[in-house]
Structure 1
Amino acid sequence: MKAQHQFDSKTLMEQARNILRQNDRGGYTVPTERLYPYQWNWDSAICALGWQSFDEARAWKEIHMLLKGQWSNGMLPHIVFHQDSPDYFPNADVWNVSEACFPHGVEHPPTSGISQPPVLATCVRKLWEAGKQTSTENGDVKLICEKILNWHRWFWSARDPENTGLVRVLHPWESGMDNSPAWDEPLARVPSTQNASYVRQDTSLIDAHQRPLQKEYDRYLYLVEILRDKDYDSRAISQDFPFRVIDIGLNSILQRANLDLKAMLDQFGMRSECQELEARIELTQNAFTKLWDPQHEHFFNRDEFTGELIRVPTSACFLPLFAGLAGNEQVLKMVSTLENWMDQKFLLVPSTAPHEPSYEPERYWRGPVWPHINWMICEGLSDYGFDALSRKIRMQTLELISKLGFYEYYHPLGESGLGGSSFSWTAAVCLIWGNSTNTR
């Protein structure tokens, strides 16, 4: 059923602010207590926008804390382990990242060894344009932008060494959509870890039917072990690496980030860097057309191992809207799909198409609605002029959060909140939308 719940916007925003305060760990925001006790990359970028709505200085501190984990090659890891916790696996010891990965002589926290969708530049641009922009802050922003550019360059070189315009992910976690059914086929090639003694912590905190399966986790860990054994050096990863996927979600977010980064660097007069970004943006724009399937009327991920499109419709299929990567006819097809799902009484946007055999309405990325993905899709819909649909999704999502609480993700029929509770980026999305005149 559709969410039909009247809510008090003022109360909802105050609850959202309190959740960010509750999950504040002295300069960085954990996604939620215990289940995710560290700083996550794309969570943190989105949380900064939430903080900006009531504490701008704290928002910038979030960004600086995240960048403390940056490697010397520019890579910004998906987890920064600022302090130990017994509640999460795999921890920093499992990743075992070498000191050689970090800038020499610079104090740093331990990190994971892979990255995550690079929404940071987009969030930094929004922070900067909404802020006071004093000269000191501008100097800080320029330095942040230079660090983000180095991160983007790492994606281009380490995850697209052939310079095709499309970067690959080497682990489902790198996509941010860990157990998406889009990974089922490529993940089936991956052997299971031989480490039978490891103990997951997530299923002791959350119902197992809301989390990835054990057989998936065994393969996730195997990929970590391979990458770790190669010291996370992309040059040492051969063409027979079992998991190599062109992810439309990450590529869309990176394209949008490139556009936003270029807009900021242009303000600083960094012409050569802007030209570098322009070339990459054009390369991606041209390459992305190969991911459209006219028969199924979707953009799809591509399995680099087989060269074939992975024809599983997910919420990531709509993220090209966020990056301006869809042509007018493609946009109309995508909007028609969303409206069709809504007509079938599904809340938007389910993480897997409801008609798919792999659809599971309560299991992580295999069906549930994720508010931060809705935020990006709504941005894209508005950019293409579909303001009414964007507003419907925004209001529907806010009603859902008000009714069920600040959960990590939600049943697509509005039956329950799922995953972690008191969730930071869910609170941040509320504050982003609550701070927008388009939502009022």
Structure 2
Amino acid sequence: MKKTLLLGLISFLVVACSGNEIEYKKEINRENYINILNIQGEPKEFTYFEPRKESDKLGTNYINSFVDLGAWHGYYQPEYKKYNLYGGFAGPFYLAEEYAANLSESFNKIEILNKETNKKYNLSEAEVKFQYIPGKLIQTYILDEISLRLELIFVTNRTALIKTEILNKTENVLKLDLNWSGELYDKLGKWNEKNKRYEYISLKNKLKNSENGVLVDFKKNRLVWDYLIGEEAEFKIKHSLPVETKIYSKKYISKAKSLEILPKKEFVSYTTESYTFTRDESKKENILLEEILKNPEKYYKENANRWQGYLEKTIGKSNKNQKYDIVAVKSIETLITNWRSPAGAIKHDGITPSVSYKWFNGFWAWDSWKQAVATANFNEELAKNNIRALFDYQIKKDDKIRPQDSGAIIDAIFYNKDEERGGDGGNWNERNSKPALASWAVWETYKVSKDTDFLKEMYPKLKEYHEWWYKNRDFNQNGVAEYGGMVHKFNNTSDEIILAAAWESGMDNAVRFDVDGVGSDDIGVKVLENKNYEGELVGYSINQESVDLNSFLYAEKIYLAEMSKILGYSNDRKYYLESAKSLKEYINRNMFDEKTGYYYDLQIGENGEKKLLVNRGKGTEGYIPLWANVATKKQAAKVVQNILDENVMNTYLPFPTSAKDNPKYNPKKYWRGPVWLDQAYFGIVALDNYGYKNEAKELTVKLFENSEGLLGDAPIRENYNPENGEGLHCSNFSWSASVYYLLYKNYLK
């Protein structure tokens, strides 16, 4: 009997690890990375979620989450000893078009009752294990008579699939009743910082019966800006078992017919959970659900193979599990969790900055460029689509609102367009563009994919965007651009236009954009009007030619020249190379300061006078010429001295956005000190470009070793304190994940 019991347990454990032996062999790499990101917690009914600490008070979800395939809902694991959550996955949370809310603390919990003893198996008495492996959540509960295992994966961009396995560990037939239950949150709360409390509004969500499950009807819930959701949206649970569902206001219980499990045998059932926005989506998903529940194991194998592919393309097949591998895998998990599929105004798949932050569930331009460069290495189509998503809204010549901006890529797009475009969203932003990195993203994606058709598709669009900078952001038409703003109803004062220009740079509150300037001889930031040949206003510039923008534009000319060579456009190639040469000479002649050995923005006056803004101190923008290969070797050597100086850029965590010797340096104040990983990446590449390869690797190691929690189970943060590595602001941040991925692949692997 002992031998039989042992064989039964071994059989269960094999299934528990993988589902079957074939899949287990395919998952070896995945299982080296269990719980490298802590996603455990107890979800509350908060719109903006509960602050983790002071730096998160503006609305970061204190629980990290799991999402896949671009779905708009996701899950958490329960915390240990939160017995009220046992038997189901915590949440889910769902994106109410733009803002996240939790549907429930745990909406689909299983209860198992022994029909003969009329006793419910108490999961709080079980040996419990919660596991998050790349692409899958697992829960195991081991009791004396039974073992319960739950596995959750995503199978479409709207549906999650849960496998429920119950093993009869006894020598007898077990007769069981299975129930699933949950309760909706009926209110929504957000933090009122002024009053230091949560304020609540009531929701109109209703539970309804559906085939073998239950449905949440969101009704007309366009109540407040914090919560926008259409009346056709629904969340639906469907079981492979026939169930009878009863609804009690905000609670439900679904009961299956009694079942029997033979001694040492296992019972398996499946459940789907779908979140859709429209009736059409719901109808299409209903058809898919039939197929999913007919052949569910097919989807578990597809999930295993897809995630194994991500890992093999990143780490390789050697399965060595080296020290920094976990950062690469955590980066993939972060990017995939932030993946959103087409919905509302979003036409292509893309990656948001972070599902964990209240304002970050849309696509930003330069975020998307960075994310594409990393993602192309393990998911080429997602990378291409992330680029396409922004170009879907490239301004056309016949645009009814701003035809003067033909060619421009706008700052950010969301599920909801803004009022001017016929929507009711407030995050959609056409006040400004973002730094000129689109051609870099396309080129780097092409280098991985070798997809000439993609290059051919994007090239004319990139040309138009490149030309827009010189039509609308070159005040004196000298071939050197400035940051600025669109002709837009919100850009109605100098301060608002300067704000838009700072947003356009991506470095929102950097010292170089301080309106009053620095020092008595600094006239400060002024607004200049850009007009076309007919004298019509087409946009605004600020009165400084920014060194990073023009270095990006120089690099863009080189990338466009390379693309034109491949596509056979010889005249274009010649033009871009000639204009690149001219711009390079201008940057090196006018934007480099010999005394400090660094590059700075160049202030321009309406009468042609110029002033190098050394007085505003050093910032990360000053080494972008090295990233772009603009600098001469002699100039680069002096910049590198600054990068490697512990009192300038080589802090405990290197590359503070304002150098440590900048008078306005603040290690915790957004772009005035904290380390943003994209800027750090540009700095590492800058070193590498000029032959400082050992130094590039040394500083890369510091970025990995000294970032809080990176090598543990903490999330990847938006930025970090340069003096102690503390994670700041938003968690699970995509471009930081992209940078860690690229640094791993290029400098540590």
**Equivalent of 1:25 in 336, 340, 344:** 340
Aligned to 1:75: 408
Is 1:122 aligned to residue 440 of structure 2?
A: yes
CA distance in 2, matches of 1:234, 1:120: 30
Give the SS at the match of 2:409.
Answer: coil
Q: Residues 345, 111 of structure 1: CA spacing in aligned structure 2 closer, same or farther, 3 A cutoff?
A: closer
CA distance in 1, matches of 2:576, 2:439: 13
Structure number with bigger Rg: 2
Higher mean C-alpha displacement, 399-408 vs 260-269: 399-408
What's the offset of the Cα at 1:113?
Answer: 3.0
> Could you say which structure has the higher strand fraction?
2
1:32-431 equivalences under 5 Å are 32-33=354-355, 34-72=358-396, 73-79=406-412, 81-84=413-416, 92-93=418-419, 96=420, 111-131=429-449, 133=450, 137-160=451-474, 162-170=476-484, 171-185=501-515, 235-236=536-537, 243-288=542-587, 289-305=589-605, 307-311=610-614, 312-341=617-646, 345-401=651-707, 402-403=710-711, 405-431=715-741
Q: Deviations over 1:65-94 (max 9, x none)?
A: 121121121111121x2313xxxxxx834x
Q: Residues 242, 23 of structure 1: CA spacing in aligned structure 2 closer, same or farther, 3 A cutoff?
A: closer
CA distance in 1, matches of 2:322, 2:703: 11
CA distance in 1, matches of 2:458, 2:535: 25
2:482–2:542: 8 Å Cα contact kept in structure 1? no
CA distance in 2, matches of 1:308, 1:64: 39
What's the offset of the Cα at 1:275?
Answer: 1.9
Q: Deviations over 1:231-257 (max 9, x none)?
A: xx995169xx68332111111122112
Aligned to 1:216: none
1:7–1:399: 8 Å Cα contact kept in structure 2? no
Give the SS at the match of 2:670.
Answer: coil
CA distance in 1, matches of 2:338, 2:543: 34
The structure, 1 or 2, with the larger RCO (C-alpha pairs under 8 Å, 6+ apart) is: 1
Name structure 2 gaps, 5 residues minimum.
1-320, 342-348, 397-405, 485-500, 519-524
CA distance in 2, matches of 1:68, 1:187: 38
Give the SS at the match of 2:359.
Answer: coil
Q: Supply the RMSD in Å over aligned alpha carbons.
A: 3.1
Aligned to 1:207: none
What's the offset of the Cα at 1:159?
Answer: 1.4
CA distance in 2, matches of 1:332, 1:276: 30
Q: Deviations over 1:171-206 (max 9, x none)?
A: 111111111101114679xxxxxxxxxxxxxxxxxx
Which residue identity is paired with 2:688? S
2:706–2:725: 8 Å Cα contact kept in structure 1? no
What's the offset of the Cα at 1:97?
Answer: 6.8
CA distance in 1, matches of 2:454, 2:378: 20
2:590–2:612: 8 Å Cα contact kept in structure 1? no
Which residue identity is paired with 2:432? I
CA distance in 2, matches of 1:187, 1:331: 27
Instruction: State the percentage of identical aligned residues.
Output: 21
Aligned to 1:200: none
Which residue identity is paired with 1:322? W
2:652–2:702: 8 Å Cα contact kept in structure 1? no
Q: Residues 414, 258 of structure 1: CA spacing in aligned structure 2 closer, same or farther, 3 A cutoff?
A: farther
2:668–2:721: 8 Å Cα contact kept in structure 1? yes
1:186–1:242: 8 Å Cα contact kept in structure 2? no
2:652–2:706: 8 Å Cα contact kept in structure 1? no
What's the offset of the Cα at 1:299?
Answer: 1.0
What's the offset of the Cα at 1:98?
Answer: 10
CA distance in 2, matches of 1:397, 1:92: 38
TM-score by length of 1: 0.78
CA distance in 2, matches of 1:47, 1:35: 18
1:30–1:36: 8 Å Cα contact kept in structure 2? yes
Number of residue pairs matched?
374
Question: Which structure 1 residue ranges, 4+ long, deviate > 3 Å from structure 2?
Answer: 96-99, 185-188, 342-346
CA distance in 1, matches of 2:657, 2:560: 28
What's the offset of the Cα at 1:377?
Answer: 2.0
CA distance in 1, matches of 2:698, 2:421: 44
